[in-house]
Amino acid sequence: MEQKKGTDWTLLRRVIATAKPFNSLFVQSIFLAIIITPFSIAQPFIVQQIVDNNIIKGQKEGMLLMAGLFVTVLIINVVMKYYFIYISAELGQSVIKDMRVKVFKHITNLQLRYFDKTPIGTSTTRTINDIEAINNVFAQGVITILADFITLLAVIGIMLYTSWRLTAIVFITMPFMMLATYVFKEKVKVSYQKVRTQIANMNAFLQERITGMKIVQIFNAEKQEAEAFKKINHSYTSANLDSVFYYAVFFPVVELVSAVSLALMIWLGAKGYIQDKVSFGALVAFPLYLNLLFRPIRFLADKFNTLQMGLVASERVFKILDNTNYIESNGTNVVGKLKGKIDFNDVSFAYDDVNYVLKNISFSVRPGQTLALVGSTGSGKSTIINILNRFYEIQKGQILIDDIDIKSYDLKALRDRIAIVLQDVFLFEGTVLENISLRDEAISYEKVIEAAKNIGAHEFIERLPGGYHYLVSERGSNLSVGQRQLISFVRALVFDPDILILDEATSSIDTESETVIQYAIEKLIKRRTSIIIAHRLSTIKHAQNILVLSNGHILESGNHEDLLNRPDGHYRLLYDMQFAELTSQ
Ligand code: ATP
Ligand code: MG
């Protein structure tokens, strides 16, 4: 527990440190928090003075002055409260605005391994919901708690100063108040955590179902899914109601305790007044003090919870920021252009450090040549291209480009020269143009058109409503598979890479599109080193070298004729099964 406290403090310090760029806002809000206090407690004090010195003694002189003072204090108080609320909220918003960008930038640089292990929903929650909770640390947490504490102390101080007897009476009920507050704080904390977990569950469920809506509908699973959703929704509602329950109990209890205090005070205080131990002014001012005393206590419990939630959220966000699982870019070799020689020397690789999916792979590709990778599903073809671009680090062996270890290259410079067309084409929401240029300003509209013309995609893009400005919807769902593939080809070509890697999608398309795509592929691999995971015989036939993979091993290698001439060869088998049919068409 002690240690937990310690980490809370460290966390809090770290959260506060994020406000450093907004030092002036931070200082202003602390300053306001401190100077607001005397103004809020001044009002009952003035009332007491008026009652004792003017009203009771029937002295009109100076009364107007006091009344004026009262109004002035009131106005200053209101204006300062406004500034205080606004500035502490602005501080919170400024901090999280920066933090969102920081987290997003950080995530975009993480190794792909992180994304293999982390659900999408989690990363989204970190960048949006959790950061929102950090805002509360500033807007409702630290500084307002500080302000409340100062007010509490000041109120107690002035109460003691005015009448220690009445103060003592008020304090009779204090232990009940403390107890109620403590119980409330603990209970609400637990129920908040439940609410948050349920929100996360609900988000995850929704996100996955909406993404997979096609499957839900194809298999008529709407009813089952709705049932499942109902259950989650129910848990969420009851978690919410739980926390509402504590509020519903706590606030009336506080009312009750303060009413009892008030009653006690008036009863015992009136006795004191009659016995001349308490001034009448004090008796009038005390209910006002009481209000000033109980209000912060009531809200403090809630604010502590908010602070706690913010800290929990910040812990999660910091965990992401502390994850420095980048691919190290220690290489200094920045090249403008690669010749395109590729060598794999005895490369072994496992995604999880244990189960090797590539075992002692060696091959080499000479500049300008095409290497084709074939093999059954799961044999490791896509993995080979994943490690060439350093999406993942290899455990054993060496990968050389132009006879230099890929680790010696500056990562960005290396990736600039290698273009990859992935097996599952991913398009973002945005125009066709944006999807091709990826908003890289160095790539002009003309350049995009030129590349599209070059590989024969221009015609189909022009035919889309709006042409290059056609709005692609999320994941490219308003384009056909073949169209998406062509766009991804243009994307690869427009960057004019020295090495082109193509992971062909297996999906079969009609003969006409087939010809278009075949033409595009030929254009893509022309005059540059390329590695192609091919499912089309015509592509493979042109390759200078073909690797046949199985289970992470290279079974055979050679060109099309060589491999076909091996009577019991794997390629021969594959050819007979897969390609013979195609060629006979
Ligand atoms: P296909 O022809 O179906 O695309 P492939 O030859 O491209 O198959 P790979 O994607 O290279 O196959 O997969 C090789 C092995 O690595 C498979 O056993 C797969 O389960 C595993 N694998 C692939 N990606 C990951 C990943 N991100 N994390 C862990 N294991 C993975
Ligand atoms: Mg693959």
Q: Which residue owns the Cα nearest ligand 1 atom 31?
A: 351
Ligand 1 atom nearest residue 386's Cα: 11
Q: Which ligand is nearest to the CA of 361?
A: 1
CA distance 427 to 418: 19
Closest CA to 337 of 391, 401, 399, 400: 401
Q: Which of 357, 388, 532, 553 to mutate to test the pocket of ligand 1 (most atoms within 8 A of CB)?
A: 357
Interval 495-524: pLDDT, tens: 889 999 988 765 556 666 777 878 888 888
How many Å lie between the centroid of ligand 1 and the Cα of residue 381?
Answer: 8
How many Å lie between the centroid of ligand 2 and the Cα of residue 402?
Answer: 26
List ligand 1's pocket residues with C-beta within 6 A. Answer: 116, 351, 357, 375, 377-383, 423
User: What's the rounded mean pLDDT across residues 308-328?
Assistant: 83
Q: Which of 382, 502, 507 to mutate to test the pocket of ligand 1 (most atoms within 8 A of CB)?
A: 382
DSSP code of 328? Answer: P
Ligand 1 atom nearest residue 116's Cα: 27
How many Å lie between the centroid of ligand 1 and the Cα of residue 380?
Answer: 6
Contact call for residues 520 and 549 (beta carbons, < 8 A): no
Q: Give the amino acid at 189.
A: K
3-state secondary structure of 500: strand
Interval 335-374: pLDDT, tens: 788 899 999 999 999 998 899 999 999 999 999 999 999 9
How many Å lie between the centroid of ligand 2 and the Cα of residue 566?
Answer: 26
Topology of domain 342-584 in CATH is Rossmann fold (3.40.50)
One-character DSSP codes across 369-396: -EEEEEESTTSSHHHHHHHHTTSS--SE
Interval 26-59: pLDDT, tens: 999 889 988 888 888 888 888 888 888 888 887 7
Tokens in use for 379?
């044999």
Predicted confidence at residue 505, as pLDDT, reads: 67
CA distance 123 to 108: 11
Q: Using pLDDT thresholds of 50, 70 and 90, give the confidence band for residue 583.
A: low
Topology of domain 11-321 in CATH is ABC transporter transmembrane region fold (1.20.1560)
Ligand 1 atom nearest residue 113's Cα: 27
How many Å lie between the centroid of ligand 2 and the Cα of residue 311?
Answer: 42
How many Å lie between the centroid of ligand 1 and the Cα of residue 551?
Answer: 10
Q: Which protein residues have a CB closer than 5 Å to ligand 2 (ion)? A: 382, 423
Predicted confidence at residue 362, as pLDDT, reads: 95
Q: Using pLDDT thresholds of 50, 70 and 90, give the confidence band for residue 262.
A: confident
Interval 114-166: pLDDT, tens: 887 777 777 777 788 888 888 888 888 888 888 888 888 888 998 898 888 88
Q: Which residue owns the Cα nearest ligand 1 atom 25?
A: 351
Q: Is the pTM of this model over 0.75?
A: no
Residue 49 CA, distance from chain mean position: 56
Q: Write down the domain spans for the chain.
A: 11-321, 342-584
Q: Which residue owns the Cα nearest ligand 1 atom 19?
A: 378
User: What's the rounded mean pLDDT across residues 413-426?
Assistant: 86
Q: Which residue owns the Cα nearest ligand 1 atom 27?
A: 116
Interval 191-212: pLDDT, tens: 877 887 788 788 888 888 888 8
Q: Which residue owns the Cα nearest ligand 1 atom 16?
A: 357
